[in-house]
Amino acid sequence: MTELSMSDRFLYAARLKSYLGKFEEAEAILTEGLEQDPDNATILRNRGHRRITLRKYDGALADLTRASELIAGTQDEHEFYQRDTEPDLVNIILGRMDKVREQHIPVNAETIAATKGMYKSTLHGSVWYHLGVVKYLTADFQGSFDDFGRSQELGVDDDSLVATFDWRYMSLRRLGRTEEAASLLNAFDTSSLTVTAGEDFYLRRLKLYKGESTPEKVLEELSESFLSLATQGYGVGNWYLYNGNEEAARSTFELVVKHGTPNAFAYMAAEAELARMSA
C-alpha cells in the first residue's frame, strides 16, 4: 500500500486547488506545507509555479532558486501532470491507497521506459524549467537561456525537449543573437519527434520558426483550447516581431491576452511583450 507523507498530502491538496483554478488557495496550502517542511524542494518548486501564475515573480524566483540549491547532488524523480495525477487524487479521497501510484519514483532507464507515453517531467527538470520561465517573463533572457538549457539536459521525453528548445530559441532571439538562434534551430529535426497527443503546441511554434509552417496556417489550426490559442498565438506574434512587423505582432499579442487562458506562460509572455511595447 502506498504511504503518503504529510508533505505529499500538502502537494496533492495544492494540485487539487490548482486544477480547480484556485491558485491563491493552492499557494496558501503550499506555504503551510513549507512551514512544516521548509527545505522540501518539491513544495518549493510547486509554490514557485503557483507564484508565477499569480504574477508574484520575485517570490517565484526566490522559491525556485532555493529549490535549485536543494536538488543539487540528489536523485532526480519523475513528476506527473494532471491527466495522471487526477486518478491518484480520486483514489486518495476514496481511501483506495492500494491504487495510488508510488511516490518519488527515481529517474533511471527502467522507469523512463515504464512511463513512456505518460505526460510528465522530472523534479529537477521542472525546477530549472520554471526558473527559465520566470526569468524570461522578467526579461532576464540570458538567465532563461541558461536555465532552459539545464532543464533540457534533464529531459526524459520529446515533450520536454521540444518545450525547452522552443524557449531557448526565443531567449536567443530576445538577446539579439540571431545567427546563434538560427544555428540552434537548423540543428533541430522536428520530423522524428513524438509528443503527447493534444500537447504539440511548442512543436507547431518550432515548425513556424523553421519555415515549415506559416503564421496563417498556425492560426487556422488553433483548436478551441484557450491554452492552444495562447501558446500558438504567442508564437505567431513572435514570428511577426522577429520579422519586423511590430503592428501585426502587437495585434496578435492582444488576441492572446483577450482570448487565451491567463494561467498559460505564453499568455503571461504576451502580457510582458505588450507592456514593453507600451513603455
pLDDT at 201: 78
- For residue 127, being part of any structural domain is answered with yes
**251 found inside a domain:** no
Q: Is residue 52 part of a domain?
A: yes
Say which residues have a Cβ less than 8 Å from residue 197's Cβ, sequence separation at least 6. Answer: none
Read off the pLDDT band of 229 (50, 70, 90). confident
Report if residue 110 sits inside a domain. Answer: yes
| C-alpha dist (Å) from residue 215 to 96, 206, 222, 236, 274 | 48, 12, 11, 5, 19
Check whether 110 has a pLDDT greater than 90: yes
Identify whether 176 is part of a domain.
no
C-alpha torsion 98→104→106→107, nearest 10? 110
3-class SS at 56?
coil
Number of domains in the chain: 1
What percent of the chain lies above the pLDDT cut of 70? 96
Instruction: Specify the higher pLDDT residue, 59 or 230.
Output: 59
Whether residue 122 lies inside any domain: the answer is yes
Tell me: the pLDDT tens digits for 199-225? 577 888 888 898 888 888 887 776 555
pLDDT of residue 200: 75
Please determine, for residue 18, whether its predicted confidence score (pLDDT) is greater than 80. Answer: yes
Residue 1 in this model has a pLDDT that exceeds 70: no
Of residues 46, 269, 56, 47, the one with CA closest to residue 174: 269
Distance CA 180, CA 265 (A): 24
State the number of CA atoms in the 13 A half-sphere of 101 facing the CB. Answer: 20
pLDDT at 150: 97
Is residue 106 predicted with pLDDT exceeding 70? yes
Cell of 58: 520575485
CB-facing half-sphere around the CA of 37: CA atoms within 13 A: 17
User: What's the confidence (pLDDT) of residue 225?
Assistant: 58
Distance from C-alpha of 231 to C-alpha of 221, rounded to nearest angstrom: 12
22-31, 138-147, 260-269: least confident range: 260-269
Answer whether residue 140 is part of any domain.
Answer: yes
Residue 107: give the domain boundaries: 1-156
* Average pLDDT for 84-100: 93
Q: Does residue 246 belong to any structural domain of this protein?
A: no
What's the rounded Cα separation, in Å, for the pair 222 and 228?
6
What CATH number is given to the structural domain containing 151? 1.25.40.10
